[in-house]
Amino acid sequence: MIIDNALNKWIADVVVDADIKNRAEHVSSGKLSASGLGEPLQWQILKALQITERQVDEYTLRKFQRGKDVEDRVLSWLPVSGKQEFVEYRGVVGYMDAMVDSAFWWTSGLPKGEMPLELKSVTNAKFKRIVGQGNPDKGHILQACLYGLAKNSEWTSIAYVASDDYRVQSFLVKVADYKYEIDEIIDRFNTQLMKMQIPVFEPREAWQATPKYNKFPEFATLSQEELDKILLEELKKKHL
């Protein structure tokens, strides 16, 4: 018997190369994204200024691909429409997973018609945590409600999928409950962008302060003076 790692290495190289290519070809719109509503203001501004995020490791890239495959499979099973539709609300943009008829849930009290559906593939451990806590992650709620605002829908939906066995836990959220918070986030982003200044790092959630999960760790501990200097240097590069 010969134990060999050639296939694993080949796949690793393909995944990493694809990520490098996508990052090189991606051009930021300069707008806030629906998926970034729950992120710290510093991350939102850095993305808008086209500052490159920390490169994700190969293991995480594989997990991302697995998540996408799972979400695509679940969407293929569901009676949905408007898959991957581009939507916008107050300058915030995103690609909504799909629209689904509210009657699909057979839930009394919901208005008739379609509502956005946001799918999130998660590990079995996180699926268990989500089910146990009885509510979605805050960033996912904001994202789904942004789609609801863009589609003028009273309700929106989030469905978590356990990536190992396709179990699904759904949540239905009233969009109006989060409209004020979303509008506040958008206002704060627009005000900061007009200042042309990178703000100091302030996490919105505890996990964002962990270096392992910080998308821009090199900026996390910098003072306002240091951030202003970096921005000036970046602007000079772009105008050379």
Residues pairing with 33 in the sheet: 93
Compute how many other C-beta atoms are within 10 angstroms of the C-beta atom of residue 5: 8
pLDDT class of 239 with cuts at 50, 70, 90: low
Nearest residue to 117 via CA among 164, 179, 160: 160
Residues 225, 240: Cα–Cα separation, whole Å: 23
pLDDT at 185: 98
Locate the domains of the chain by residue range. Answer: 24-238
CB 29 within 8 A of CB 91: no
Q: Using the structure block, give the residue that is written with the tokens 């005000």.
A: 191
For 202-226, the pLDDT digits (tens) are 999 888 888 888 999 999 999 999 9
Rounded to two decimals, the pTM is 0.91
Torsion angle, alpha carbons of 24, 25, 28, 34, to 10: -100
Under CATH, which architecture does the 24-238 domain have? Alpha-Beta Complex (3.90)
Per residue in 98-125, pLDDT (tens digit) is: 999 988 887 767 888 899 999 999 999 9
